[in-house]
Amino acid sequence: MKKYYIIVIATLLVFTLIWSCIKNQNKEQEPLARVYDKYLYVSDVQNIFNGSMTGADSLQVLKAFVDRWVRKQLMLNRAEKNLSPEQKDVSQQLDDYRSSLLIFKYEQEYIQQRMDTFVSASELEKYYTDNLSNFTLNENVVKALFIKIRKDDTYYERIRMLYRSDKEDDIKTLDNLAYQVAIKYDYFNDMWVPLSRILREFPEPIENVDVILTRSKHIEYEDETFAYLLNVRDIARKGETSPFSYEKNNVRSILLNKRKQRLIMDIEAKIYNDARNHNHFNIYVE
């Protein structure tokens, strides 16, 4: 109980100190910490709190902030003492960083205001078709159905029979049944997915997967409690051309990135030409 009162009192003192310093910014502030000749004041920590914090939380946040500040200043002091004047001169790097950051922010704002983000289906298909050699699979991808079910479930054998079927009626029955009784049932929205992603659902690695899938579409595994059933309805193998539907989002990103680059090149050229036409720069190198 004493410890609780100490925390409450300390917290009240912290908040009192913070608010008194905010209201009296022209008065001399009490420091929260000192490292050599540098001081951390209450005004330096005003923005680290939020309204949802309890008193105890605020005190913990303040202590952590002060500790990080002290450690940073100690490292900075050591760096100042041990680096040569040439090593400590970072003005060029700072100028370069500031310039790059400002240009980047301007470009992003310009792109956001002007770029059309709609990409038609025909654009996607054309780029994919024209660049097939760029879309080669580095792993097997499949359209598949995966089920995890308890071996003692009443419907286990029924589901085990249905999940192998390609008949539409059987698939509908499986859909209704598996959703109700299976621990996990996923047909991945009929999308292409990496086979490795599905195999992670099995409790142990499945050996010779490629060999198994040359002979069968089904992989089954049982442990003491569960059965794991995989029906591979279609497969595109490593080294083959990646299916269009699998690459669709990737193609869209590529096309949008190309638009961004064109916009950036266009604005750079426009700014350059405008400046040249108005004699805003000179180049003295022959």
pLDDT, tens digit, 9 for 90 and up, residues 162-172: 999 989 999 99
pLDDT tens-digit map of 174-201: 999 999 999 999 999 999 999 999 999 9
Contacts of 65 (CB under 8 A, 6+ apart): 45, 48
Q: Which of 182, 211, 209 is nearest to 194 (CA)?
A: 209
The domain segmentation of the chain, as residue ranges, is 2-82, 92-134+247-277, 137-236
Rg (Cα) of the chain, in Å, rounded? 32
pLDDT at 28 over 60: no
pTM across the whole model: 0.72
Give the orientation angle of helix 244-277 with respect to helix 121-130, to 10 degrees. 100
What class has domain 137-236? alpha beta
Q: Which of 24-28, 81-85, 200-204 has the lowest mean pLDDT?
A: 24-28
Question: Tokens at residue 64, please?
Answer: 């952590």
Percentage of residues in the chain having pLDDT higher than 70: 90
- Average pLDDT in the 260-264 region? 97
DSSP 3-state of 45 = coil
Q: Are 221 and 227 in contact (CB under 8 A)?
A: yes
Strand partners, 228: 148, 221
Residue 12 pLDDT grade (very low, low, confident, very high; cuts 50, 70, 90)? very low
Q: Which of 47-61, 140-154, 269-283 has the lowest mean pLDDT?
A: 47-61
pLDDT tens-digit map of 58-117: 888 899 999 999 999 999 999 999 999 999 999 999 999 999 999 999 999 999 999 999
Question: Given the structure tokens 């195999």, which residue do they identify?
Answer: 199
Q: Which helix (H) or strand (E) holds 8?
A: helix 2-23
Cα 44 to the center of its chain, rounded Å = 31
Q: Which of 50, 87, 111 is nearest to 263 (CA)?
A: 111
pLDDT at 129 over 80: yes
pLDDT at 251 over 80: yes
DSSP state of 216: -
In order of 48, 59, 183, 201, the CA distances from 24 in angstroms are 19, 22, 63, 62
